């Protein structure tokens, strides 16, 4: 069964600290993996997209890594800011059909305290 | 910031009423989607469209319908609202011409059925 599991479910850190969010997936055949940030009351916004051949991709203070062999991805946030408080969602796309079906994780709720 | 708009942002309605959630995008995207999101849960695909006059059901579509008469407009209709329909509804679009194009989400409609 194709699944996307994220951990931790929630995380609280102090402003200025770093953190790493995890995403494990069983989706096969794999096409790409995306991380989205969803602020409370808003729609998700894309942070990074990685295909099979990409191991790492950065977007400012956000760095995503991908290990396609172990089917794991991580999102590292450097020097956290209060505005980083949000839900971070991992989304994996399969390439088993023309639809390119998306599998969503439940997200990690990050809270940054001053 | 993506140009995709959803109205209304909040809606409280009684059981049995017919409602239409509006979604419009100005990016000329061919692909459009409706997702349902409950707190702490993954997004579930309700309907999707690959272009004008093309609509398909997703995983949770049995009690709603959509139409795609114009590229920019993708409304979702509930013929008879029930308390189980209480949820957040997110509309999204993507550029079909780019295989790794991210989803652009609206800010959602939070529906409460009493």
Q: What is the per-residue pLDDT for B99?
A: 61
Residue of A nearest to B37 (CA): A106
Q: Please, what is the average pLDDT of chain B?
A: 92
Q: What is the per-residue pLDDT for A2?
A: 78
Confidence band for B2, pLDDT divided at 50, 70 and 90: low
Q: What is the per-residue pLDDT for B87?
A: 95
Mean pLDDT of A10-38: 95
* DSSP labels, chain B: ---EEEE-SEEEE-TT--EEEEEEESS--SEEEEEEE-TTS--EEEEEEEETTEEEE-SS-TTEEE--SBTTB--EEESS--GGG-EEEEEEEE-TTSTTPPPEE---EEEEE-
pLDDT tens for B11-55 read: 999 999 999 999 999 999 999 999 999 988 999 999 999 999 999
Q: Is the pLDDT of residue B68 over 90?
A: yes
Smallest Cβ–Cβ distance between A105 and the set B42, B90, B104 belongs to: B42
Comparison of pLDDT for A36 and B101, the residue scoring more: A36
Confidence band for A38, pLDDT divided at 50, 70 and 90: very high
Q: What is the per-residue pLDDT for A94?
A: 86
| Helix, strand, coil % in chain A, rounded to nearest 5 | 5, 60, 40
Mean pLDDT of B84-97: 90
Residues of chain B with C-beta less than 8 angstroms from the C-beta of A36 = 102-103
Percent of chain A with pLDDT strictly greater than 70:
96
Q: Is the pLDDT of residue A51 over 70?
A: yes
Best B103, B106, B108 residue to mutate vs chain A (most A CBs within 10 Å): B103
pLDDT tens for A58-87 read: 999 999 999 999 999 999 999 999 999 999
Smallest Cβ–Cβ distance between A49 and the set B42, B102, B104 belongs to: B102
Confidence band for B97, pLDDT divided at 50, 70 and 90: low
Q: What is the per-residue pLDDT for B48?
A: 92
pLDDT tens for A97-111 read: 556 688 999 999 999
- B99:A100 CB<8 A: yes
Compute the Cα dihedral for A24, A112, B101, A58 and give only its sign.
negative
């Amino acid at each position: 069964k194709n699944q996307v599991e994220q951990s931790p479910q929630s995380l609280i850190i102090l402003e200025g600290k770093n953190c790493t969010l995890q995403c494990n997936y069983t989706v096969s055949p794999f096409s790409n993996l995306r991380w989205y940030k969803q602020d409370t009351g808003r729609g998700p916004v894309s942070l990074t997209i990685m295909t099979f051949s990409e191991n790492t991709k950065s977007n400012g203070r956000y760095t995503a890594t991908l290990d396609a062999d172990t089917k794991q991805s991580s999102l590292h946030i450097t020097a956290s800011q209060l505005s980083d408080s949000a839900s971070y969602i991992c989304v994996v796309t399969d390439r088993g059909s023309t639809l390119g079906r998306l599998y969503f994780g439940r997200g990690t709720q990050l809270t940054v305290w001053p | 910031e993506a140009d995709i708009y959803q109205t209304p942002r909040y809606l409280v309605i009684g059981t049995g009423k017919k409602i239409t959630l509006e979604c419009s995008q100005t990016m000329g995207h061919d692909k459009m989607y409706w997702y349902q999101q409950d707190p702490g849960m993954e997004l579930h695909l309700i309907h999707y469209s690959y272009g004008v006059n093309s609509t398909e059901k997703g995983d949770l579509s049995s009690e709603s319908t959509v139409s795609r008469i114009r590229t920019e407009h993708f409304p979702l209709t509930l013929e008879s609202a029930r308390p189980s329909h209480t949820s957040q509804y997110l509309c999204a679009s993507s550029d079909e011409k780019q295989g790794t194009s991210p989803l652009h989400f609206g800010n959602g409609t939070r529906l409460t059925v009493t």
